[in-house]
Structure 1
Amino acid sequence: MTKTDQAIDQLQRMIEHGDLKPGSMVSESQLVEITGFGRTPIREAIQRLATARMIRVHPSKGLEIPAISVEDQLCALEVRRPIEVLAVELAAARAAAPQRAAMQDLAATLAGRFGLRDYTETVRRTHAMIIEAAQNPYLSAAMLPLQALSRRFWITYLRDEVAEIARGGALHRQMLSAVAAGDKVAARAASLALNDYLVAHAVAVIARRAAPTSAD
């Protein structure tokens, strides 16, 4: 992994978990200081994350961590849905035996209990395994930014952490197990079920905002 890739990973995690807060402004120099990477990998990481809509560049003003909106999440999920179906179907058909064994091991891990950061790292590994097994480099470019944006929204609006991690873990486990088994039909169904869950999570945020408060 290059220094740029490492910088992207670190900044992406910081954005997803709110260490860099939505709506805040930061400078390139601050990111260099926070991460410990040099200016060149940070500059390249900023460019990549700007393309992925995780950073907004304002010339002469600095870097904005974009606010999170339900509308953006639903738009991202609309695009993610068919691409992820393609990814799991290709992975189910193309995964090599060692990849299938690794998926089965990770699926077993997903049955356990997690804290939030450990869970999101395990989910990240799940999607990385599937994309690698699909053997199509264009899928990585398309899927990873969408998954990162979805994860950021999910983390930000998480309410019952234990219950949501259990639900999300079960859905990811079903998808990974189906891919490992080479079952394209089950993998497709599991992918769609995961997307439906994420859409329902976003819609629930809208419902909570619309609900009258106790003072109304």
Structure 2
Amino acid sequence: MAEKELSQTDSAYARLEFMVIFQQLEPGAMYSEKQLGEMLNMGRTPIREALQKLAWEQMVNIYPRRGIQIPVVTMETQLKLLEVRRPIEVLCAELAAEKATPTQKAQMEKLAEGIMVCARNHDDESFFYHLRQVHYELVAASRNEYIRQAMRPLQGLSRRFWFKHKEDNTEHPATLHAEVMKAVSSGDKIKAAQAANKVIDYLYEFTLKQLTY
């Protein structure tokens, strides 16, 4: 595939993920590749490639000859997801603390600072992109392709659930994510594991609170 096509696919993927997360594409609704292409002013090839990636991450369901459906987010699926995510997230943080390169550690320090700025400014869009990058950098630093394959859908679906149910008074998890980045950057496996567990604890509590709404 040509470099331009790869770039278009990556762009389509990022934009479609954003539209799913922020419910610009309605949960439960059906869309065609043509509709999505018109929304993004892009051709069918990058849209199709991006949808395949999103389907693998369970962000969309593809039904041949029917279209693309945006799955409905439920508390039950989020709790099941977190059961799986906790041990993998902790392992990922430990490996990242052990294996991150100096360049990756410096990037994590920047992300820790940046994600806190997003929270202070109540900038959900920037927080989304920072959190997405935090997840990618953490997985990349683990240097384990199997962790990457497992974590991508788990992290993406967790992001979607949080943004869907977030309210203005929601306790912000930016500090918790920053603690993971800082622990990994310092090479401290124990602190990295503890910080990762705190993130999952927060997400469990956040999920269970939806019972009261």
The CA deviation at 1:97 is 1.1
The CA deviation at 1:140 is 2.0
Question: 2:41 & 2:144 partners in 1: Cα distance?
Answer: 33
Asked whether 1:181 is paired with 2:191, we answer no
Q: Deviations over 1:133-180 (max 9, x none)?
A: 11122222221221111111111111235x53xx31110011110000
> Which residue among 128, 134, 144 is the counterpart of 2:142?
134
Q: Deviations over 1:68-112 (max 9, x none)?
A: 110111111111111111111111000111211221122122332
Q: Which residue matches 1:211?
A: none
Asked whether 1:88 is paired with 2:86, we answer no
Question: 2:166 & 2:197 partners in 1: Cα distance?
Answer: 21
Question: 1:149 & 1:123 partners in 2: Cα distance?
Answer: 13
Q: Which residue matches 1:34?
A: 39
Asked whether 1:49 is paired with 2:54, we answer yes
Q: Which residue matches 1:169?
A: 174
- TM-score, length-scaled by structure 2: 0.90
Q: Secondary structure at the match of 1:57?
A: strand
Question: 1:98 & 1:55 partners in 2: Cα distance?
Answer: 34
Q: Which residue matches 1:63?
A: 68
Any gaps of 5 or more consecutive residues in structure 2?
none
Give runs of aligned pairs for residues 62-211 of structure 1, distance below 5 A: 62-112=67-117, 113-114=120-121, 115-160=123-168, 163-164=170-171, 167-208=172-213
- TM-score, length-scaled by structure 1: 0.89
Report sequence identity in percent: 41
Question: 1:30 & 1:127 partners in 2: Cα distance?
Answer: 30
Cα RMSD after superposing both structures? 1.5
Q: Which residue matches 2:30?
A: 25
Any gaps of 5 or more consecutive residues in structure 1?
209-216
After TM superposition, the structure 1 stretch with the greater mean CA deviation from structure 2, 99-108 or 181-190, is 99-108
Which one-letter code corresponds to 1:68 in the other structure?
V
